[in-house]
Structure 1
Amino acid sequence: MAHCRHVSTATGSVHAVLSRMRALDAALPPLDGVAVFNRVYLAVTEAVGRDLDAGRFPDTRAATTLDVLFAERYLAAVDAVTDGRAPAACWRPLFQYRRHPQVRPLQFALAGINAHVCHDLALAVVDACRTLGCEPADLEDEFDRVGELLVLLEERIREELTPGPDLLRIADPLTHLIGCWSLERARDATWVAARTLWSLRRLPGLAGECTERLDAAVGLASRLLLTPLPS
């Protein structure tokens, strides 16, 4: 892999991102839908931080930049809602349904992951390429490593947040709802979206329209994942 050309512009640190997420975890009610996703994402970011400290990424600078820019998009959505502004369309369903009594914790977690991976990660790859002066291909190893951690975490989430001692019953509508979404497929689509947006960077009008369409489509998927279900 050709590594990214390092630049002097510093991004925020992973530790600063973790501090924000831990503060949210302490402040939000445990059953709040945003709190459920935040706990999931905090665990992912802590795992990324450990891998960075252990030198498990091929390019530490590139991995740190991608991770921080990725996280900042979620935190920007939180800040928007706190300030009374509308977050990106992909995040609106999670904030709108965060206290709905008939939406289950697993749905909140998957809707947040859907918004963050399918929309934010694609834009974070483009942001990182601009920051580091490189091409998406130069970040593919870092993208794949973060994706591997997300897949492992998704498996744990499904085990921990599914109801009942036998996990999901065949008749439970949640079984069918979550079976329609795959993190692995989402990652593949995100990588294509990131490369496409990068290729369109010299056509700002078209790039902006594609970004808006992506945001809206991901928001629709999140809304479907948050369909209220009977207890």
Structure 2
Amino acid sequence: MSLDWISKSIVANSMVLDGVGTTFIPGLIKFKYTINPGAAYGMNAGKLGLAITIAALVTLLLIAIFIFIRNKYWLIPISLMVAGSVANLLGRAWAPLTSDGIKGGVVDFIVFDFSFLGSDGYIFNLADAWVSIAVGFIIVILIAYAVFEILEANMRKKDKEKYEFYVDIKTRKQILFETYYEKFKFKDENKLTYRDYLSKNEKITKKWKKYKNKR
């Protein structure tokens, strides 16, 4: 979040608003400073109040999900989404006026220096990029979950004993993570350290490997 604000501040203080822009990495990225009164990638640009309301509601929802989430695989994308959403929402408070004198917009400055499905028509910032990366993570995770579901179903049909052992290992890992994360999140002085978590997790993994090697 700090990196996003720093980049926006540098752009706002060193570039001309709605100017020509400048190439950063030829053929890949260029910078063009603008103030977007809408949501990500210019959505609802003509409805500032609606854009801010939606942004605030989405931010609160993401924070709630982050607080109650228990699965480590979702932590990275949700964390990126929270960081991006909060950065843009709070960034509206100090962003300069638009060329039309509108307050409450977001500093955007990154433009793709190539055209792929209209990619060069979007202007965004680091916070937007983090949200987009998070969406990519979510898609990959969903695909991985689908693949694992198929593999687990196949294991359950072919070897019920192996499947039950696998589920036990999976459950132990989940409980271990929840124990570590809950104490970490609430700053418990007697929390399970990251090193301890990795060590215990490795022991559980070895049990699974040892079991498979015997089969």
User: Fold match, TM over 0.5?
Assistant: no
The TM-score with structure 2 as length reference comes to: 0.30
Of structures 1 and 2, the one with the larger relative CO (CA 8 A, separation 6+) is: 1
Q: Where is the strand percentage greater, Structure 1 or Structure 2?
A: 2
Larger radius of gyration: 2
Q: Where is the helix percentage greater, Structure 1 or Structure 2?
A: 1
